[in-house]
Amino acid sequence: MAPETNTATDTMTNDPILKVEHLSMRFGGLMAINDLSFEAQRGEITALIGPNGAGKTTVFNCVTGFYKPTMGMISMRQASGKTFLLERMPDFEITRDAKVARTFQNIRLFTGLTVLENLLVAQHNTLMKASGYTILGLLGLPAYKNASAASIELAKHWLEKAHLIERADDPAGDLPYGAQRRLEIARAMCTGPEFLCLDEPAAGLNPRESLALNELLTGIRRDTGTSILLIEHDMSVVMEISDHVVVLEYGQKISDGTPDHVKNDPKVIAAYLGVEDEEVEEVIEEIEEIEEGGKH
């Protein structure tokens, strides 16, 4: 799937759905993100990786309106050409109007609601409009009945994709862990997003659940064309499904390109092996020597 080149940008069709430019986020004295710029291409899976504390989740929180960035611009361009400046919008409008959805590192389902209800909550805005803000819905108007049936159809579609259809009427809190992860993604998809942000979807999954997740994600990209931004520590997931990888360390971008490019980037290797700053140069030289040696 991934193009076999070392440089990333030249092979991509340049149609970014999300553009992050000069993003900085400061918490008191801590610069969590420092002048970060990257792009996520439409229809691709972009992975955001980096050691713990690199600022990956902070980027997500800025994109989805949890935090207001200290500086910088985050623009999202829909397929229709409409552009939204996400850093200026309140959180619910980012989902409702800009069509960005997200999941969290820790599962945040509505555990007291049933599985199906979790998916219907995500379609609240459509249903509210169709039901004339509940008033017409109470009178049982056909327009509302149709919208209601359509919303259940959509929910069923995603339940099937996530292999959860038999558990539709169980409380969401009763599902096993891996199923809850898939339900979260299904719920995010029910908001009808063009851009989906997933924060460590594979965390805590066993290999089989991890495989089911890969399948769900590639299925989403293939069938709906939804662009995905992914934070992940599980390299088997990252290398397997992503088209483009952005590596962060200490709030700065250290590498950006295809999975193969990033895998061989000495800076990335240094960051992951935890080498001291002064030694980075040495590591780079060593790697270069090895590469030179290989060529001769």
Partner 1 sequence: MEYFIQQLVNGLTLGSIYGLIAIGYTMVYGIIGMINFAHGDIFMLGGFAALIIFLVITSIFVGLPVVILLLIMMAAAMLTAALWNWTIEKVAYRPLRGSFRLAPLITAIGMSITLSNFIQVTQGPRNKPIPPLVSSVYNVFGISIALKQIIIVLLTVILLTVFWYIVNKTSLGRAQRATEQDRKMAALLGIDVDRTISITFIMGAGLAAVAGTMYLMYYGVAVFSDGFIPGVKAFTAAVLGGIGSLPGAVIGGLLIGLIESLWSAYFTIDYKDVATFSILAIVLIFKPSGILGRPEVEKV
User: Which ranges of the chain would DSSP assign to H, the alpha helix?
Assistant: 56-63, 91-96, 115-121, 124-130, 135-138, 142-161, 177-190, 207-224, 235-241, 259-263, 266-273, 277-295
Which DSSP symbol is given to 260?
H
And the tokens for 128? 């509210």
Does position 112 interact with partner 1 (CB under 8 A)? The reply is: yes
Does position 108 interact with partner 1 (CB under 8 A)? The reply is: yes
Does position 96 interact with partner 1 (CB under 8 A)? The reply is: yes
Does position 150 interact with partner 1 (CB under 8 A)? The reply is: no
Of 21 and 170, which has the nearer Cβ to partner 1? 170
Of 28 and 139, which has the nearer Cβ to partner 1? 139
Least Å distance, CB 64 to partner 1, is: 6
Question: What are the residues facing 84 on neighbouring strands?
Answer: 76
Does position 95 interact with partner 1 (CB under 8 A)? The reply is: yes
Does position 177 interact with partner 1 (CB under 8 A)? The reply is: no
Q: Is 107 exposed, middle or buried, given 0-12, 13-18 or 19+ CB atoms closer than 10 A?
A: middle
* Main-chain phi, psi angles of 230, to 5 degrees: -130, 130
Sole binder of partner 1 in the list 42, 77, 167, 187 (CB under 8 A): 187
Q: Give the binding range for partner 1 (CB under 8 A) out of 93-101, 156-164, 205-213, 245-253.
A: 93-101
Does position 134 interact with partner 1 (CB under 8 A)? The reply is: yes
* Main-chain phi, psi angles of 263, to 5 degrees: -60, -35
Whole-angstrom distance, CA of residue 144 vs CA of residue 131: 5
Does position 48 interact with partner 1 (CB under 8 A)? The reply is: no
Does position 57 interact with partner 1 (CB under 8 A)? The reply is: no
Least Å distance, CB 127 to partner 1, is: 4
Length of the chain: 296
Does position 127 interact with partner 1 (CB under 8 A)? The reply is: yes
Q: Give the binding range for partner 1 (CB under 8 A) out of 20-28, 40-48, 80-88, 114-122.
A: 114-122
Q: Give the binding range for partner 1 (CB under 8 A) out of 11-19, 42-50, 134-142, 175-183.
A: 134-142
Of 66 and 272, which has the nearer Cβ to partner 1? 66
Of 123 and 227, which has the nearer Cβ to partner 1? 123
Q: Is the Cβ–Cβ distance between 194 and 99 less than 8 Å?
A: yes
State the DSSP string of 124-179.
HHHHHHHTTTTHHHHTT-HHHHHHHHHHHHHHHHHHHHTT-GGGTTSBGGGS-HHH
Does position 227 interact with partner 1 (CB under 8 A)? The reply is: no
Least Å distance, CB 198 to partner 1, is: 13
Residue 7: partners with Cβ closer than 8 Å, 6 or more residues away: 257, 261
Residue 85: partners with Cβ closer than 8 Å, 6 or more residues away: 73, 74, 75
The residues of the shown chain that bind partner 1, judged by CB under 8 A, are: 64, 66, 90-92, 94-96, 101-102, 104, 108, 110-113, 117, 120-125, 127-128, 131, 133-134, 137-138, 187-188, 191
